[in-house]
Amino acid sequence: MGNLNGKVALVTGGSRGMGAAIARRLATEGANVALTYARSPEKAESVVADIAKAGQRGLAIQADNRNAAAIEAAVAGTVKEFGRLDILVNNAGIFSMAPIEDVTLEAYDEMMAVNTRAVFVAIRAAAPHLPEGGRIISIGSNLAERVPSAGMSLYAASKAALIGLTKGVARDLGARRITVNLVQPGSTDTDMNPAHSDHADAQRDRMAIASYGTPQDIAGLVAWLASEEARFVTGTTLLMDSGANA
């Protein structure tokens, strides 16, 4: 514990699921943590309370990833509250499925706004504040590299774009020793994809080890990437999918 003592992190979409687990884990490692939420202030404040129990300061900021100005304000608010920003975790995202002929332009714009544009906006806003050795970690999906069934083309595209963005930003910020990485989870037990849904067994059938991940699994990798131990890792994607893409 204490790998992140004195650090400040911002986690987008931090009120539930993987985002909440990440926020809590970073706090147990010693970081003060701001988190954004779109519609659940009670859940966000519950995470802030857990951060306080870990001995750290927390801050919940209402910011819908569809709104670029709100994301920029969340970054500014984090810096104002804590005086610095060391770690940006781009976690907020949405998921939907439809055959390509049924995907509307409105659905395309929303998916790209939340899953792709918002990550760019947050990185652009955070970059001037990050110190040498800062960290940017985004949460993608293993579907960015392998789409095993129909109906996921739009979601896969929105997450695949993060691969190129991660590699490019790693080059842009490398001179400042800021690392930029992408975590690509597979099936993870959250309310978006519960381990006991009607579709869960089909997902397990694709895995080398037939077991869903947990939000805490993802949080552990994020915490490591945020630490000094990961200083030599940048511009890369890290799969956590129980071998589904093997």
Which pLDDT score, from 0 to 100, does residue 191 have? 82
* Position 189 confidence tier, pLDDT thresholds 50, 70, 90: confident
C-alpha 143, offset from chain centre: 15
* Position 128 confidence tier, pLDDT thresholds 50, 70, 90: very high
Q: Where are the domains of the chain?
A: 8-240
* Position 233 confidence tier, pLDDT thresholds 50, 70, 90: very high
Q: How far apart are the first and last CA of the chain?
A: 32
Q: Which of 37, 108, 155, 212 is catalytic?
A: 155
pLDDT in tens, 70-93: 999 999 999 999 999 999 999 999
CATH topology of domain 8-240: Rossmann fold (3.40.50)
Residue 190 has pLDDT above 80, yes or no: yes
How much is the average pLDDT of 32-54? 97
* Position 14 confidence tier, pLDDT thresholds 50, 70, 90: very high
**Number of helices (H) and strands (E), helices first, in the chain?**
8, 7
pTM over 0.85, yes/no: yes
pLDDT in tens, 135-177: 999 999 999 999 999 999 999 999 999 999 999 999 999 999 9
CB 58, CB 19: distance < 8 Å = no
Q: Which residues have a Cβ under 8 Å from the Cβ of 32 and sit 6 or more positions away?
A: 7, 8, 9, 51, 56, 57, 58, 59, 82
Which pLDDT score, from 0 to 100, does residue 1 have? 58
Query: 155 catalytic, yes or no?
Result: yes
Adjacent-strand bridge partners of 210: none
